[in-house]
Each structure stands twice: as C-alpha cells, then as structure tokens.
Structure 1
Amino acid sequence: MACTLTLFILANLAIAAPNLALLLTAPTAAGLGAALSTPTASAVAAALAGLPTAAAPSPSSSAA
C-alpha cells in the first residue's frame, strides 16, 4: 500500500515536468497509483481500459 501511495505522490510531483513525454505520462502513473490503492478502483480502471478482470468462474454445462 505504501508503494502505491508513493507512486501516486511522485507522479503528481512529476506533473511539473521539464519535457512533454513526462508531462503526458505523469497523470497516467498517478492514476495507476491511485487505482492500485483500492481493489474496487483497480477493477473499475481495468474495466474502463478494457483489460480482463478476475471474475467468478462461469457454471459449466457438463457439471451435474
């Protein structure tokens, strides 16, 4: 948890970036740090990004 909060803080500080590439990637890193802080936010971020999420296994038709 401390690692994700550190990522969030450092990425927010990097917004005062000296170049365009860091300026564009800093908010993404801040969002990633915030999303990793809570499981719900992480699942929502993955859903919005179109990434697969851990879901309950679907019932199999062969199981009796």
Structure 2
Amino acid sequence: MRVEVDIPKCVASGQCTLLAPDVFDQQDEDGMVILLEENPPAEQHEAVRESATVCPAAAIRLLE
C-alpha cells in the first residue's frame, strides 16, 4: 500500500491522526495533515483505510 495526501484539500479534522497515529500527524500551527509513513506496514493497513474513508475532505488517497 502507498499513501498519498492532498494537503490543500485537508480540513484539519484530525480523524486520520486518531485512527493511524503511526502514519499521520498534524502540523502544530494549522492542524494540516503530515504523512509520516508513505508505505505503512501491513498491520497499519486497516487503520489507514479507515482514515481514508472517514476523511471529510477526501484528502487521503490509497494505492494498493
């Protein structure tokens, strides 16, 4: 799995960081997403998929 984020689309809801904190973080100044792991390990895939599903801005793209 490869993860891409569209930072300009991000609305800083933080759902991704709550669901997959080893893969996503947020910038301190504006809460925008930071991608920590572009190719997360298999044990993170379920949480990353859920993050992409619940992202209100659809800013997370997964390439399987």
Structure that is richer in helix per residue: 1
Looking at both structures, which has the greater relative contact order when contacts are Cα pairs under 8 Å and sequence separation is at least 6?
2
Same fold (TM over 0.5): no
TM-score, normalised relative to structure 2: 0.29
Structure that is richer in strand per residue: 2
TM-score, normalised relative to structure 1: 0.29
